[in-house]
Chains A and B, each alone.
Chain A
Amino acid sequence: MGVSGVPRHWRSLRERYRLLGTYCENCGTSFFPPRKICPKCRRRGRTREVEFSGRGKVFSYTVIHVGSKTFEEYAPYVIGLVELEEGPRVLSQIVDCKPEEVHIGMEVEACFRKLFEQEDGGIISYGFKFRPVDDSWVEYYRKLLADKKVKAART
């Protein structure tokens, strides 16, 4: 039960890891998630797979304080609706920054991360999340590590 299930996960491995979508050569529109048919052109559409750059801007966001059972332990975490530079939007977590730093229009890029761990059997699911495009996340981690050291020294 829940946001898990190995067969479903395997079936969609490629687009989960590599931000693959669909491009229609007839109307020039990109789609995500991948589709079998261009909803605009219907049968006239000529679709092919496309890999997105992974760069985009935050279109909207929220900070989840009460997660579902699978994600309870990660709260609070940021969920963003990211508009990719090719046009389509992706829903994913925004990481490597403080929740209060996330804003509409913020420039982000995709990165490869652990999404969650299944309760039974410990199967780990991976996929993309997004982080700030500037190098602020380097500083974020430096500070995070320093804080951990301070805490460790205190105890």
Chain B
Amino acid sequence: MLGSGGFSKRGDHGLKREVAIVAVGATRFGEHWSKGLKDLAWEAGVQAVEEAGISGRDIQYIVFGNMSGGMFEGQEHVGALVAEFLGLNPVPATRVEAACASGGVAFFQGYLAVASGMYDLVAVGGVEKMTDVEPGQATEILSAAMDYEWEAYFGATFPGVYALMATRYMHDYGLKPDTLAKVAVKNHYHGSMNPLAHFRNRITVEDVLSSPVVAHPLRRNDCCPVSDGAACVLLAPLDEARKYTDTPIIVKAVAQASDTLSLLERRDICTLNATVHAAEKAFAMAKLTRRDVDLVEVHDCFTIAEILALEDLGFCAKGAGFKLYEEGETYVGGRLPVNTDGGLKAGGHAVGATGVKQIVEIVKQLRGEAEGGRQVDGAEVGLAHNVGGSGATAVVTILSRR
């Protein structure tokens, strides 16, 4: 399965030391009219720094995800900009971009920076300011995450490309719109318990099925919102983690994979190969099985994406993912709680921040600190799955309490 793109020959992935998350911070995801990219990054960053009880000056490297400061705010070079605004010059600060997987890829880079032995304290973030442009403009900017030349140019939108997957999936596996709607209903239910969620209202299957069509068969309530937001985690070597926290969360694995930007050359458009490859690698690296995982955060930019993710991550067979929704097994208290913070659908999707926000939620759950009644009892191991575009980049991260 792994083929090319495997690991180094040493067999232990060539890493020098284990890495832990020692602090987290996140803004609410939503419409922050009075805040820009810098303000949001500040808010999340300060929370993490205060939680760790350190000075910002202790941070040796900053790496964060941001999809398109250039198109959303007219500002590129945001790496150094954030370092400047946090008063941390001359600390090296890098912005990474992989569309909606920018945050996950930033986490991977931060992980490597600590695991390699180069840095002892790294801030990994994600930030996106999306609501300063009109909706049509936002749709256009987001469509740059897929193949611009062979998809967007012909009028495809981001929801449109996922709708192509949904149409085919319904045709091949018999998924019905009311089952698909249950993904959104569940995520809103979880979102209602999360004070940082974009939407905190509960919805019904009927609410989903009566919302306007965006790209048939996907309706407005099948789609995640456009959000402003930021998230941050601090990484340190495991053997130094107790300097900062009593409850370090161990990074068992991070794996990233790539696939074609467009759907054109994917023979099976109902499978995100990048997810399959990243998951195989991550489970091999963590030496864990699917049965060990207590909760997952998956990239539900659209309802269909959540079902595909559970299949591609290996939690169920292809074509069987939606059956978990017929029996409510993905709720907190179910067999496999999925997107306990409301996911992208209700939690919100500030694209470059999402991958880090997912990790923040897993950390809260593994510490036993998830508020509002959404805590998964005795959660030991959690998995985060972040996707860029329609699956050209996927990052799978496995975290553990011990």
Residues of A within 8 A of B (CB): 1-3, 8, 12, 31-33, 59-72, 74, 77, 79, 81, 88-93, 99, 104, 115-116, 125, 127, 129
Contact = CB atoms under 8 A, between A and B. Distances in A.
A139 B150 CA distance: 30
B164 A12 contact: no
Contacts of A31: 265
B140 A68 contact: yes
Given A59-B168, A61-B167, A69-B137, A93 B264 contact: no
A81 B140 CA distance: 20
B263 A89 contact: yes
B150 A33 contact: yes
Contact of B148 (A3, A66, A79): A3
Interface string B286-298: 0000000000000
Contacts of B214: 65-66
B273 interface: no
The 7 closest A-B pairs by CB, nearest first: A62-B163, A69-B136, A60-B168, A68-B140, A63-B216, A68-B139, A60-B164
A60 B137 CA distance: 26
Contact of B149 (A8, A88, A115): A8
Interface in B209-248: 212-218
Interface in B94-152: 134-137, 139-140, 143, 148-152
A71 B154 CA distance: 9
B195 interface: no
A39 B148 CA distance: 21
Contacts of A72: 136
A90 B264 contact: yes
12 contacts: A12-B149, A60-B269, A61-B167, A62-B164, A66-B139, A66-B159, A74-B155, A89-B264, A91-B150, A91-B264, A104-B171, A127-B154
A129 B155 CA distance: 11
Contacts of A125: 153
B320 interface: no
- Residues of B in contact with A, size category: 35 or more
B160 interface: yes
Given A33-B264, A65-B213, 13 more contacts: A3-B140, A60-B165, A66-B214, A67-B155, A68-B136, A69-B136, A79-B164, A79-B215, A81-B263, A90-B150, A90-B264, A99-B216, A104-B167
Contact of A69 (B139, B149, B160, B163): B139
A69 B152 CA distance: 11
A142 to B, nearest CB: 25
Contacts of B264: 32-33, 81, 88-91
Contact of B153 (A1, A59, A60, A115): A115
A91 B140 contact: no
Contacts of B139: 66-69
Nearest to A66: B214
Nearest to A4: B153
Nearest to B158: A68
A12 B148 CA distance: 13
B263 A62 contact: no
Contact of A64 (B136, B148, B157): B157
A92 B147 CA distance: 13
Nearest to A11: B149
Contacts of B160: 62, 64, 79
Contacts of B80: none
A40 B215 CA distance: 34
B27 interface: no
Contact of A116 (B136, B148, B155, B212): B155
A115 B164 contact: no
B143 to A, nearest CB: 5
